[in-house]
Structure 1
Amino acid sequence: MTSEIKEIDINQIVEIATPFDDFEHEALLDEIQGNILKSHGRNHAVYLFLKFENDIEAAKQWIGSFTHRYVTSALEQAEQGKLYRQKKDVPGKLFANFFLTRAGYMHLGYGYQNLPNEDAFRQGMKDPNMQNELGDDSNQWEDGFKNNEIHALVLLAADKIVGPRTEEAKLEERRDQSKLCQQPALLKYKVEAIKGELNAIASIVHEQIGYVLRDENSGEEIEHFGFRDGVSQPLFLKRDVDKEKEHSDFTKWDPRAPLSLVLFKDPLGKKQESYGSFLVFRKLEQNVKAWNQDVVKNLAEKLKGSGELNAPLAGAYTMGRFQNGTPVAIAQTPSEDKKPETNNFNYQDDPQGFKCPFHAHTRKVNPRGDTLALVSIPLEEEKMHRIARRAINYGTLPSKEPENDAGLLFMSFQASLMNQFNFMQKAWAKERNFIKRDVGTDVVIGVEKKGDDNTAVTETYSWPTKWGGEEQTEADFSHWVTMKGGEFFFTPCMSFLKSLAPEPSRHIEFRGVPKKEIEAAQGIINELQNYKQKNWAIGLNGDTVEPDGFLTFFNQRKLSFKFYLQNRVGLGEYSAYDDNIKTLNRYIADVIDQESDACEYKIAELEEYKDRKWAIGLNGDTSEPDGFVNFFGERELPFKFFVQNQRVSLGDYSAYDNNINTLNNYISSLK
């Protein structure tokens, strides 16, 4: 985008088209990180919380290099999403985000004038005043959060399989949730490699492993209490809006949102489209066993006098939805509703809370017009308090009814912490008098502090005795969610992060074998050294204006070239030899890194295929070569087949390890 083009107005951008449908905001999507406008969609993630050491320049170099190699832009995420939907090979690449705290910016040498201007971000989540505002107690936090200043967060995410069989691997995890506790080989390899890099520049003060829990039958995301998660998100992309319109006319609830809901101008960005987003991270421990007992044995038993109160309805009273996602306010029956979940509803038909109590979680944090009806706040103003939620599960599977060390890694993106997450938590969730007097706090997240004896806080709430009836009965319920630590982050734009380290010579399209490309570049270096000794001209052929072999080699690879001519044309300086040699050495290093990355992804994929004993070498039951054969062939490497089906029997189980060893040896030969 040229400097003459006017600044974009993110308040006016709603329903972004995909970059494949006459897209007009590619520059914006290429500048913001992925995961903000749409969840990254991977089933597994690792979170590394960092505290940088004193070598500031080394830290900056690492951040820039990490961004070039791994951080995924929203544009790249959209492109990968289309390939995935078309069941094509998705480029084998880790999904990554990088976030900074206020302390992180300042440690790297950026003053307050360079920080995103948001009071909550500058305070931090551990600040005593912030603790009071959010209802937190850092004494309950885990040591990594409580005892350390956090500078940055690295998010790394991946699936078990990258490519056409990803969905198959995800289905396996749905049917056997224990597989969710096994990290993908790719994620394990890359996390260990990145941790090795970080050893020299930072301490990892906390590490967290997460996974996406899904309902075995529907495949929808759920959380540890068993309720569908991620329902009713603000929608920014046209494709998501169109999908929602397939079963909603938006007459009662319009889920669309302008980009100004999540994007904040990055003061350190290099482009007009430089936007980031504030990130809230909170580790929320869920006592599943106690929750289940409280819902079934306490609440359902206490309220069953009407003859219709059951455990599913009791749970729906607390969450605002049945476990399958159906809003309790519009369910067809007072039991688990089996009809498809809908998001096209508000509370106009339940103004007194006879179906959905005002203290129910979803009504507390998304009142859907209650503020207009009861306290005269316009709906559009209320909707600007929404957040883009990106939660993921952690710890023991809910089927084992864990009492600790399990729950939700809550993440949300927003343009303003004060007006969105903090407002929601302070003015709605933990406010006893929202939306009516003495309603009580949000029954799920309203109070996170434990009592003096370290037990859960219990509140007395009024519950409908009969679903839809006026009669209310008081019954106690305890808060079984405990905040174990967190922080406020900013999600910097891509141009700022990339500016911290030189642009690598990546995404090279090889005409032949990559190893031969390295040898060719080394040959040019040797030749340049010879020309340097003889003080021969480089750049043009003799006294002509035709490019010589050096210039041609550089131009073909889009590498910068320095001339040195001292004849009819005086151009450049003697230092050009060394400058060009330096460029080629960096190019060789980048080629090696790119090839090593590609091989490591392929090794991880082979490991996953080995675990499942899936065929390698042929595509399904055809005689066509698969991606493994093509990958090895492009590098002139020997490949071992293992195919055992009704038509073909070829090779044996040792083929996986043989091929993995071949790739490891190949990587070593490059270096």
Structure 2
Amino acid sequence: MPVPKDYREVDTDNIQGSIWPRLPKFYETYLFFKITNKERFRQDLRGILDRGLITTGTECEEHLTSVGEFKEACAYSRREMPENQREPFTAINVAFTHVGLLKVEHPDVEANFAMALKDDPDEYCRDRINEGLFEKGMFDDLVYEGADNPPALDPDFRAPPDNETKTGSERWKWRVDGVFIVAAHNARALRRKIAILEDAFNVGDVKGSMRIAFRRDGRVRPGADRGKEHFGYEDHISQPRIDGLDDPPEKGEPQACLPGYIFCGLNGDPNRRRGPKWAKEGSFLVFRQLDQKVPEFETFLEKKAWDPVEGIPGTNYKGPHGPAKLGAHLMGRWKSGTPVARAIDHDDPALAFDNKFDFRPKKSITRCPFAAHVRKMRPRADKKHDIGGEDDDSLEPLPEPGNDEAIDEGQREDASVILRRGITFGPELTDEEKSLKKTIEHRGMYFTCYQSGIRDGFNFLMTRWASNSSFPEYKTKTFPDGPGMDPFVNQRLRHDHPEGHISLYDGANKERTVKVDLGISPWVDQKGGEYFFTPSLRALREQFSTESLEEQSQSQSPTEDLPPAQLLDKIKQLEQEKQALEKAVGYAGLIRLDFLTRLNDADLRKLKHQVRDALERLASDVNWEHWREIIEEFNGKYGFDLLYDSTGLFEGISWSDWKYIHSSTQYSGYHRTVAYRNRLGQWCNNSKQGGTGEDGSGNGLLWLTFIVQLHDVLQAYKPEIH
């Protein structure tokens, strides 16, 4: 379990949950947007913050813990989960590109920067993020510094023709301003959540503050393949643990990384002193679309294992399981998640998700290939030169942390670590594709990751490690060819880039590898993406959003500052509103209304949004235990007071009474009507005459009646606040 909340180095109430621990999800949509009205967007963003729609790390942690899935890389968290057994959970996170942050930043930033430039023309804006790759974006980074081929990229992530001739802000205008990440437990809940979000920003309306430029829809694979990518390998294994946040690694696992490698402004962040203060506990988000060609990958494995002419020389990949072994050696793990470093020739499901290895002996070519994907992306002992020599065949366990300061120092992670997120997309492999051995349907992975710096994180991994045939270094038994490129994410996307290969053991010669050509991305098409920054909730509120004009006006004339005569009028108005409310509540009498007079307008607005959202959820998926928690939370926060009978229990009443209540209110709103009709029918099927407070149906109707009634009360009370 993670570090207790009071002792954490990261405020999980302040971070967005997609960074840590992760968004619980079965469905996930990325809404890439363009801001159409800067000031209105800032106001709308404040609105969703006030409604609690941006999901925090704490909220994700609590849900994952409650369903027993806080630990991501384990069989329980990857188990098959039918839709009707999933606990409801929806989430929204937001991130901005460089151009997007410029649009939503505080209005004073530009003016202050202009004044600073007058004093020092070489000054940089200390209220903005100064990360070169973030500013230029993925296209300019990986096309001009890397090897992305513009014609091969998705049009959504490709700059228009002749864009390279433009300078300054004109060069970035084609890019999106940001992305909303929306996650849910099923497709219906996802659609509702997206509708709530779009409604909050009036998308498609003349008053809209943004438009959706394009979207990407993903979902986890079905059944037993939950947690696997389309090639069939377990994903998101061996995530770095964060010091002062996650529980310590077990003996033999990589050491925890400093929090500043993932979160800006914290211990370990290389740019901690240079970045703006508001960037603290934010993180850079990388989005990259990877299209996967599953039949072509499987054909490659079979040909290289079995073909007498084009196959790999030697005996290492011969036999009926040769293709599976070759695939595992390219990935560095078997499809079960078992590391090749601990199970070289055969899968061992008992070691699935194991993380206790470090690739020693480092020069041996008979074990995990040097350029296997998991070794390229996290080289462990290959980059820790303090652990033995290159030819050290000793696999003696490392000393316990704290016993040898020099070894501890050499074991520590560096700033190249990233937190991997993302989700698969597209259908399962069809019978036609299997028969033709050719990809027809569009499928793959939306890869995302978080880090405190793109240069030290994603860019470094892609350009310096994955696409570098000489990394890891000092592997003399592979020369002159070198270890090779990462078989899955190398950037060999065009003919003028060095040809990709991987060096493998042939099963006989332990002193020299054989070279296996990879070609030009034969089974993974890298379609481009974008760089974003994910601010903390505090930064979203204080730096990138603002109160609406209505709220500003209200805050400038508080009730306590009114002259005596106006104050008396205000009291009279409140009394009249209370009387009107009492008339509006005519059918169950469960709510005492005096708590409303204790709410300021901001709290009242937030309550109205929360009740509306709750009613929308009640219209579909219901777990009464979960609903009881929601009501109790409302009660603790707003001071609700439910009326009970003399025994302390709420007693259900007869079917005819409930039917009358439903009939008398069925025209008050779609979600309200559907919620009442659905749950009423559910209750009647379970209990024809009535339910008591000790019965699940009776309790359910108590909470249902409370929410429906509160919804109606809030519609009548201060309708100008909505």
Fold agreement, TM-score > 0.5: yes
**1:208 and 2:216 aligned:** yes
User: Residues 297 and 354 of structure 1: is their aligned pair in 2 closer, same or farther, counting only changes over 3 Å?
Assistant: same
Unpaired segments ≥5 residues, structure 1: 1-14, 161-182, 505-527, 542-551, 561-582, 608-623, 652-658
User: Residues 82 and 16 of structure 1: is their aligned pair in 2 closer, same or farther, counting only changes over 3 Å?
Assistant: closer
User: Residues 25 and 467 of structure 1: is their aligned pair in 2 closer, same or farther, counting only changes over 3 Å?
Assistant: farther
The one-character-per-residue Cα deviations of 1:91-118 (angstroms, maximum 9, x if unpaired) are 9652111101111112235555422232
The one-character-per-residue Cα deviations of 1:326-359 (angstroms, maximum 9, x if unpaired) are 111220x513333222110011135233222112
1:80–1:90 contact (8 Å) kept in structure 2: no
What residue in structure 2 maps to residue 432 of structure 1? 469
Letter in 2 for 1:462: S
Higher strand share: 1
Give the drift of 1:258: 2.1
What residue in structure 1 maps to residue 493 of structure 2? 449
What residue in structure 1 maps to residue 131 of structure 2? 118
Letter in 2 for 1:64: R
Alignment partner for residue 482 of structure 1, among 504, 525, 528?
525
What residue in structure 1 maps to residue 418 of structure 2? 387
User: Matches of residues 513-532 of structure 1 in structure 2 within 5 Å?
Assistant: none
Letter in 2 for 1:464: Y
What residue in structure 2 maps to residue 340 of structure 1? 351
What residue in structure 1 maps to residue 30 of structure 2? 47
Q: Percent identity?
A: 23
Work out the CA distance in 2 between the residues paired with 1:37 and 1:193: 24
Letter in 1 for 2:247: V
User: Residues 343 and 442 of structure 1: is their aligned pair in 2 closer, same or farther, counting only changes over 3 Å?
Assistant: same
1:123–1:130 contact (8 Å) kept in structure 2: no
User: Residues 664 and 101 of structure 1: is their aligned pair in 2 closer, same or farther, counting only changes over 3 Å?
Assistant: farther
User: Matches of residues 326-405 of structure 1 in structure 2 within 5 Å?
Assistant: 326-331=338-343, 334-341=345-352, 342-349=354-361, 351-373=363-385, 379-380=410-411, 383-398=414-429, 402-403=439-440, 405=442
What residue in structure 2 maps to residue 254 of structure 1? 254
Alignment partner for residue 30 of structure 1, among 13, 28, 31?
13
1:102–1:115 contact (8 Å) kept in structure 2: no
The one-character-per-residue Cα deviations of 1:496-555 (angstroms, maximum 9, x if unpaired) are 212314499xxxxxxxxxxxxxxxxxxxxxxx9xx99964547999xxxxxxxxxx9998
User: Residues 597 and 30 of structure 1: is their aligned pair in 2 closer, same or farther, counting only changes over 3 Å?
Assistant: same
2:370–2:503 contact (8 Å) kept in structure 1: no
2:382–2:472 contact (8 Å) kept in structure 1: yes
Alignment partner for residue 74 of structure 1, among 45, 49, 57?
57
Alignment partner for residue 154 of structure 1, among 175, 180, 183?
180
Letter in 2 for 1:17: V
User: Residues 457 and 42 of structure 1: is their aligned pair in 2 closer, same or farther, counting only changes over 3 Å?
Assistant: farther
What residue in structure 2 maps to residue 461 of structure 1? 502
Letter in 1 for 2:349: K
The one-character-per-residue Cα deviations of 1:147-192 (angstroms, maximum 9, x if unpaired) are 53111110011113xxxxxxxxxxxxxxxxxxxxxx2x11111213
**1:100 and 2:96 aligned:** yes
Give the drift of 1:193: 3.5
Work out the CA distance in 1 between the residues paired with 2:414 and 2:238: 12
What residue in structure 1 maps to residue 303 of structure 2? 297
What residue in structure 2 maps to residue 595 of structure 1? 611
Letter in 2 for 1:35: S
- SS of the counterpart of 2:254? coil
1:210–1:392 contact (8 Å) kept in structure 2: yes
2:255–2:412 contact (8 Å) kept in structure 1: no
**1:17 and 2:17 aligned:** no
Letter in 2 for 1:119: G
Give the drift of 1:80: 3.0
Work out the CA distance in 2 between the residues paired with 1:43 and 1:489: 23
What residue in structure 2 maps to residue 611 of structure 1? none
User: Residues 375 and 39 of structure 1: is their aligned pair in 2 closer, same or farther, counting only changes over 3 Å?
Assistant: farther
- SS of the counterpart of 1:298? helix
Work out the CA distance in 2 between the residues paired with 1:59 and 1:101: 15
**1:408 and 2:445 aligned:** yes
Letter in 2 for 1:290: E
Work out the CA distance in 1 between the residues paired with 2:246 and 2:509: 33
User: Residues 220 and 467 of structure 1: is their aligned pair in 2 closer, same or farther, counting only changes over 3 Å?
Assistant: farther
User: Residues 319 and 403 of structure 1: is their aligned pair in 2 closer, same or farther, counting only changes over 3 Å?
Assistant: farther
- SS of the counterpart of 2:139? coil
2:89–2:185 contact (8 Å) kept in structure 1: no
Unpaired segments ≥5 residues, structure 2: 71-84, 111-124, 160-173, 266-271, 392-406, 434-438, 474-478, 550-558, 573-591, 624-650, 653-657, 663-671, 691-703
Further displaced range: 104-113 or 635-644: 635-644
User: Residues 535 and 100 of structure 1: is their aligned pair in 2 closer, same or farther, counting only changes over 3 Å?
Assistant: closer
Give the drift of 1:367: 0.8
Work out the CA distance in 2 between the residues paired with 1:537 and 1:27: 48
Alignment partner for residue 60 of structure 1, among 42, 58, 61?
42
What residue in structure 2 maps to residue 280 of structure 1? 286
Work out the CA distance in 1 between the residues paired with 2:442 and 2:138: 21
Work out the CA distance in 1 between the residues paired with 2:69 and 2:494: 49
Letter in 1 for 2:3: A
Letter in 2 for 1:482: D
- SS of the counterpart of 2:488? coil
Aligned Cα root-mean-square deviation (Å) = 4.5
- SS of the counterpart of 1:297? helix
Letter in 1 for 2:26: N
Give the drift of 1:256: 2.1
Give the drift of 1:298: 3.0
User: Normalization by structure 2: what TM-score?
Assistant: 0.64
Work out the CA distance in 2 between the residues paired with 1:413 and 1:348: 28
Give the drift of 1:403: 4.9
The one-character-per-residue Cα deviations of 1:403-424 (angstroms, maximum 9, x if unpaired) are 5621111111111111121111
Work out the CA distance in 2 between the residues paired with 1:337 and 1:503: 59
Work out the CA distance in 1 between the residues paired with 2:102 and 2:33: 14
What residue in structure 2 maps to residue 641 of structure 1? 681
What residue in structure 1 maps to residue 269 of structure 2? none
Work out the CA distance in 2 between the residues paired with 1:473 and 1:26: 48
What residue in structure 2 maps to residue 522 of structure 1? none
Give the drift of 1:276: 0.4
Give the drift of 1:462: 2.9
Further displaced range: 89-98 or 23-32: 89-98
User: Residues 50 and 300 of structure 1: is their aligned pair in 2 closer, same or farther, counting only changes over 3 Å?
Assistant: farther
The one-character-per-residue Cα deviations of 1:456-485 (angstroms, maximum 9, x if unpaired) are 997343321128955633333342212212
1:16–1:236 contact (8 Å) kept in structure 2: no
Work out the CA distance in 1 between the residues paired with 2:152 and 2:413: 32
Work out the CA distance in 2 between the residues paired with 1:462 and 1:90: 44
Give the drift of 1:286: 0.9
1:390–1:412 contact (8 Å) kept in structure 2: yes
What residue in structure 2 maps to residue 575 of structure 1? none
Work out the CA distance in 1 between the residues paired with 2:689 and 2:150: 60
Work out the CA distance in 1 between the residues paired with 2:179 and 2:298: 33
Letter in 2 for 1:39: R
Letter in 2 for 1:384: A
Give the drift of 1:380: 4.6
What residue in structure 1 maps to residue 194 of structure 2? 191
Work out the CA distance in 2 between the residues paired with 1:106 and 1:67: 20
